Amino acid sequence: MGYVSGLKCRECGREYPVDPIYVCEFCFGPLEVVYDYKKIKKVLTKKNIEKRPKSLWRYKELLPIDGEPQVGLKSGFTPLIKADNLAKELGVKELYVKDDTVAHPTLSFKDRVVAVALTKAKEFGFDTVACASTGNLAHSVSAHGAKAGFKRFVFIPATLEPSKIVASLVYEPNLVAVDGNYDEVNRLCSEIANKYRWAFVNINIRPFYAEGSKTQGFEIIEQLGWKAPDNVVVPCASGSLLTKVWKAFKEFKEIGILKELETKVFAAQATGCSPISTAIKQGVDVIRPVKPNTIAKSLAIGNPADGFYATQVVKETGGYGEDVSDEEVVEGIKLLAKTEGIFAETAGGVTIATTKKLIEQGKINKNETTVVCITGNGLKTQEALTGRTVDVHYIKPNLAAFEEVLKKISN
Amino acid sequence: MGYVSGLKCRECGREYPVDPIYVCEFCFGPLEVVYDYKKIKKVLTKKNIEKRPKSLWRYKELLPIDGEPQVGLKSGFTPLIKADNLAKELGVKELYVKDDTVAHPTLSFKDRVVAVALTKAKEFGFDTVACASTGNLAHSVSAHGAKAGFKRFVFIPATLEPSKIVASLVYEPNLVAVDGNYDEVNRLCSEIANKYRWAFVNINIRPFYAEGSKTQGFEIIEQLGWKAPDNVVVPCASGSLLTKVWKAFKEFKEIGILKELETKVFAAQATGCSPISTAIKQGVDVIRPVKPNTIAKSLAIGNPADGFYATQVVKETGGYGEDVSDEEVVEGIKLLAKTEGIFAETAGGVTIATTKKLIEQGKINKNETTVVCITGNGLKTQEALTGRTVDVHYIKPNLAAFEEVLKKISN
C-alpha cells in the first residue's frame, strides 16, 4: 500500500515498474522513483508528521517503500543547530548547520540512504546486500545490514586507510579489497550485480537508495518551523544529495506543506575534485571528468553520475558552485569545531569553507537564512588534521609549570 | 526558580548552600544536590515531559539549574535499541541497548554531564571551564565549551594516544599535557581549582556535573514506556554513572512517575581495573585501589571516588558485579557490532561482555528485561581492534578473482 506509481527514465521519460533496475533500456538514462502526490497530499500533513517518532521514516509516504519501515528505525532526524557563533564569524544574520555527524548508527548521512535501500531490499526479497564504497557507505551497509540480518558484501579499493577498514570489519561483513581505484571497484560490482541476485545499494537499488537523501531536506524544512531557507549549501560527490535535497523541498511544495519556495541551492566541492563546481562556474552543461586529488575522499568522485542534474538544480534556483583547497578544508573543519563544537569530516570542511567563500563573494546574501549540510563525523578523517591543529602545552605536574603556560597564553 | 533546596554531605548529612563546592568541610564527604520533590511532583508529569523537545533537558526540574538550560540543547535522548539479535545470541528474552555512541556533540555520555555542568557554570558566573580527562571528557568540555563561549583548559596525561589529542585540539581549547598519570593530573587540577576561579567540571562543579548522568536513567524509563527494567548493567569508572542511573529511577518513583521499582543494578568493569566489581564479589564494603592495566582506558580509574556508593546500590537492589578480560572486551565490541550494528568503544565492550557473563552465571534472569548502558563510540578506541577482526579478502579487479573468494567463503 505504498505511494509509488513506478520508475521513470530521467532522460526520455519512459516508464518502468518497481523493480531492482536502475538504467533505461532504451536511452541508458538513470531511473527515478515517481510518486502519486495527490494521494500523498491527503495523508502526509504537518500534523500527522509531528505525531510520529523522530526518525527519517516520519516522511515514509515520500519514500519508495510499500509496507512498513524495516531498517534504520532510529536513523535520521539529526539536529539542526542554530549556528550563531559561526554566523557571527562569517558575518551573516542567520545560519544553521544540519548535523549528520551524529547520524545513527554510523555517523554519516549514508545511514539515511542505506536505511531506505535495505528496507526496499527486504521488500524485493533479497537476502544479500552489497556496495562499492570508499568509507562511509561501507560502514553503513555493514552496520544496518548486520542489524537487519542480511548477508553483506562490501567492496573497497585496497588502498583505503586501515582505520576505515577496521571501522567496517568490526561489523563482520565480507569485506573485499580490490586492487584498483574506485572506478574499477564500481565496474567489478556492476558485473557481479548482473550475475548474482544481490541488492547492490548504490547500483541496482540506486533509484530507491538515492531517495533516502531527501530526508535531509524534509528535516531541514520541518526543523526550521515548516519554512524553506533562503540558501542551502550541499557538498557534492556524485551530486545526488544536492538533487535530492532540492527534490524534497519541491515535494513539500507539491503536497502543500510549503506555501513558498524560493531557496537557492549551492554546490560545494574540493578543488582537487571539482567537476561540478567547475561546470557551474564556467556556465557549461557538460561535466568534464577529473582525476581526484584531495583529502576530501568521501567527495572524490571524478565522474559524478548526477553531476549534470546537480548543475541544473543550481542554475534553476539561482544558486552557484564553488570549490576550496585542501588547506581551506582543514580551516573549515577547525572553524566549525571552535565556533559550534561540531567535529565534521573533510566533506564538512569543504562545505564550511565553500560557504565562507560564497559569502565573501556576495553570492550568499548576508541578510538571508542559510543552511549548510554537514554529512559525516570528523573522527572518520582525523588524519587530515595531524600537524594542523593548535599546539599542546607540555608541562611537569606542578603549579609553577602550569603558571608558566598561563603567562605565555596571556602574552 | 529552580527546584534545588541545597547541597548535602553524603556522609554526615550536613547541609550547604548551592555553591561551586564539592566536599564537606567537616567530614570530607562528597556533597550531593538535594531537590524539593514535592514541588517537582506538581510540575514534572509524564504528559509535560512528552510535550518537550527530545533532549536531556526535558527532565530539567530534576537537574540542578535555576534558570533555563543554556548548554547542550541538542544533547541527550539517544536511542534505546531493542536488541533482538543480541538477545537471541545471549539466550535472553528481552534486551535493550541504551546507545550513547551517537550522543551529541561528541559521541559519549560525557556530553550529558558537561551540558549540565556548563549550564551551572554560567549560572555561577564563571567565564572559564576546565577538566582533567583521559579522552571523552576532554572532547566534551572542548566542544560544549566552544559553543557556549567559555575559555577552556583541558588537562590530560601526556601519554594519551595522539588520536584522542587531535580530537580535542580541533575545538581549540588550551590543552595542557601533564607529565604524569591521571591521578597526578587530577591532583594538579585540584590545586589550580583552589587558586583560580574556574569551573573544573569534575572537581568543584562535580556535584552538579554528576547529576547529568541521571538523564540516561530518566530516558531509559521513558523509552521503555514509563517502566523500569528488571535489570540494568552499567559500566563503572568512578562509579558515579551507576549511582546516578539508580538515583534517576528512585526519583521517578518518588515523584510518582514509576508505580513500581524492582530493578537490579549490575556493575561492569575490566578485570585490569576492577576495584568495584572485586569488592562486590568479595562482599566487602572497602574499595581497594588498584593500578589500572586494561585497554578500557575510559574506565581505568584505580581509586574510584564513588566506588563505595556504587557497591551499596548493587547490594541494595540485589544486583551483582563482574569483570572481563581485555580479550573478552574486544569480543564484546564485535558481538554488539555484528548483531546490532552498533560500534561501541572499549567501555561498551566491557558492558556487553560482562552482561554475557552475568547471564551465563544466572545472575541475570533469562526471562527478564535487561538494559545495557553503552557510553561511547568505537571510533574513539579503534586501535583496540587492530589485528583482532575478521580478515579482508584481497583480490584483483576481475570477476574470476572474486568468485575464488566466494568459493572460499561457501566452504
Q: Which of A81, A166, A397 sits opposite B385 (nearest CB)?
A: A166
Test B102 with A103 for CB contact under 8 angstroms: yes
Q: What digits encode the pLDDT tens for the residues A304-348? A: 999 999 999 999 999 999 999 999 999 999 999 999 999 999 999
Task: Decide if pLDDT at B134 tops 90.
Answer: no
Q: What digits encode the pLDDT tens for the residues A224-267? A: 999 999 999 999 999 999 999 999 999 999 999 999 999 999 99
Set of chain B residues whose Cβ sits within 8 Å of the Cβ of A342: 105, 143
Residue A362 — φ and ψ, nearest 5°? 80, 5
- What residue of A is the nearest CA neighbor of B186? A397
Residue B34 within any structural domain of the chain: no
Structural domain including A216 reads: 78-104+212-382
Q: How confident is the model at residue A30 (pLDDT cuts 50, 70, 90)?
A: very high
**Judging by beta carbons within 10 Å of its beta carbon (0-12, 13-18, 19+), is residue A408 exposed, middle or buried?**
exposed
- What residue of B is the nearest CA neighbor of A334? B170
Buried b (16+ CB within 10 A) or exposed e, A48-79: ebeeeebbbbbbbbbbbbeeebbbbbbbbbbb
Which pLDDT value is given to residue B183? 80
Q: Which of A54, A339, A392 sits opposite B165 (nearest CB)?
A: A392
* pLDDT above 70 as % of chain A: 100
pLDDT (average), residues A84-108 = 98
- What residue of B is the nearest CA neighbor of A183? B397
Residue B47 within any structural domain of the chain: no
Check if the beta carbon of residue B377 is closer than 8 Å to that of residue B347: no
pLDDT (average), residues A366-371 = 98
Please tell me whether residue A23 adopts helix, strand or coil conformation. Answer: strand
Residue A132's H or E segment, with its range, is: strand A128-132
Set of chain A residues whose Cβ sits within 8 Å of the Cβ of B187: 397
Residue A184 within any structural domain of the chain: no
Question: What is the 8-class DSSP label of residue A255?
Answer: T
The residue with cell 542554475 is: A315
Give the CATH number of the domain where residue A315 resides.
Answer: 3.40.50.1100
Q: What digits encode the pLDDT tens for the residues B336-387? A: 999 999 999 999 999 999 999 999 999 999 999 999 999 999 999 999 999 9
Which pLDDT value is given to residue B1? 61
One-letter amino acid of A177: A
Task: State the complex-level ipTM.
Answer: 0.97
Q: Which of A99, A337, A395 sits opposite B179 (nearest CB)?
A: A395
Q: How many CB pairs under 8 A join A and B?
A: 216
Which pLDDT value is given to residue B160? 85
Could you tell me which of A231, A226, A230, A232 has the C-alpha nearest to residue A256? A226
Test B195 with A399 for CB contact under 8 angstroms: yes
Task: Decide if pLDDT at A208 tops 70.
Answer: yes
Which pLDDT value is given to residue B411? 78
What lies within 8 Å, CB to CB, of B266 at 6+ separation is B231, B232, B233, B234, B314, B319, B320, B321, B322, B354, B355, B358, B363, B364
Which pLDDT value is given to residue B162? 84
Set of chain B residues whose Cβ sits within 8 Å of the Cβ of A387: none
- What residue of B is the nearest CA neighbor of A102? B102
Could you tell me which of B288, B299, B306 has the C-alpha nearest to residue B323? B299
Which pLDDT value is given to residue A80? 98
pLDDT (average), residues A132-159 = 96
- Neighbour tally for B357: CB within 10 Å: 18
Q: How confident is the model at residue A8 (pLDDT cuts 50, 70, 90)?
A: very high
CA distance A48 to A64: 19
CA distance B126 to A177: 52
- A344 DSSP β-pair partners: A377
Q: Which of A177, A178, A399 sits opposite B191 (nearest CB)?
A: A399
Residue A134 within any structural domain of the chain: no
Set of chain B residues whose Cβ sits within 8 Å of the Cβ of A99: 74, 104-105
**Judging by beta carbons within 10 Å of its beta carbon (0-12, 13-18, 19+), is residue B254 exposed, middle or buried?**
middle
Buried b (16+ CB within 10 A) or exposed e, A108-118: bbbbbbbbbbb
Q: What are the cell numbers at B186?
A: 587530577
Test B179 with A333 for CB contact under 8 angstroms: no
Could you tell me which of B156, B82, B151, B161 has the C-alpha nearest to residue B345? B161
Test A187 with B397 for CB contact under 8 angstroms: yes
- pLDDT, chain B, mean: 96
Which pLDDT value is given to residue A131? 98
Question: What is the 8-class DSSP label of residue B108?
Answer: B
- pLDDT, chain A, mean: 96
Could you tell me which of B379, B408, B380, B270 has the C-alpha nearest to residue B331? B270
Task: Decide if pLDDT at A294 tops 80.
Answer: yes
Which pLDDT value is given to residue B410? 86
Q: Which of A106, A107, A397 sits opposite B178 (nearest CB)?
A: A397
What lies within 8 Å, CB to CB, of B163 at 6+ separation is A382, B382, B383
Which pLDDT value is given to residue A1? 61
Distances (CA, A) of B381 to A385, B245, B343: 18, 24, 10
- What residue of B is the nearest CA neighbor of A184? B397
Residue B282 within any structural domain of the chain: yes
Test B105 with A405 for CB contact under 8 angstroms: no
Q: Could you give the number of structural domains in chain A?
A: 1
CA distance A106 to A140: 6
Q: Cα torsion at B11, B14, B18, B20 (round to 10°)?
A: -50
Could you tell me which of B317, B346, B315, B316 has the C-alpha nearest to residue B331? B346
Q: What digits encode the pLDDT tens for the residues B292-320? A: 999 999 999 999 999 999 999 999 999 99
Dmax over CA atoms of chain A, in Å, equals: 78
pLDDT (average), residues A33-44 = 97
CA distance B219 to B202: 23
CA distance B90 to B354: 12
End-to-end CA distance of chain A: 69
CA atoms within 13 A on the CB side of A328: 17
What lies within 8 Å, CB to CB, of B250 at 6+ separation is B261
pLDDT (average), residues A106-125 = 98
Q: What are the cell numbers at B119?
A: 549550564
Pairing state of beta strands B80-82 and B94-99? antiparallel
Test B176 with A402 for CB contact under 8 angstroms: yes
Test B79 with A74 for CB contact under 8 angstroms: yes
The residue with cell 515514509 is: A60
Set of chain A residues whose Cβ sits within 8 Å of the Cβ of B385: 166, 169-170
Q: Which of A101, A166, A341 sits opposite B171 (nearest CB)?
A: A341
Residue B92 within any structural domain of the chain: yes
Task: Decide if pLDDT at B184 tops 80.
Answer: yes
Test A143 with B337 for CB contact under 8 angstroms: yes
Check if the beta carbon of residue B16 is closer than 8 Å to that of residue B6: yes
Residue A353 within any structural domain of the chain: yes
Ordered strands of the B151-157 beta sheet: A393-395, B174-178, B151-157, B128-132, B199-200
- A395 DSSP β-pair partners: B178
Which range is least confidently modeled, A117-121, A303-307, A359-363?
A303-307
* pLDDT above 90 as % of chain B: 95
* pLDDT above 70 as % of chain B: 100
- A80 DSSP β-pair partners: A98
Q: Which of A107, A192, A337 sits opposite B170 (nearest CB)?
A: A337
- For residue B63, the distance in angstroms to the closest alpha carbon of chain A comes to 22
Q: What digits encode the pLDDT tens for the residues B142-176? A: 999 999 999 999 999 998 888 889 999 999 999 99
- For residue B90, the distance in angstroms to the closest alpha carbon of chain A comes to 15
Residue A393 within any structural domain of the chain: no
Q: What are the cell numbers at B259?
A: 508505580
- What residue of A is the nearest CA neighbor of B394? A177
Residue A326's H or E segment, with its range, is: helix A326-340
CA distance A341 to B105: 7
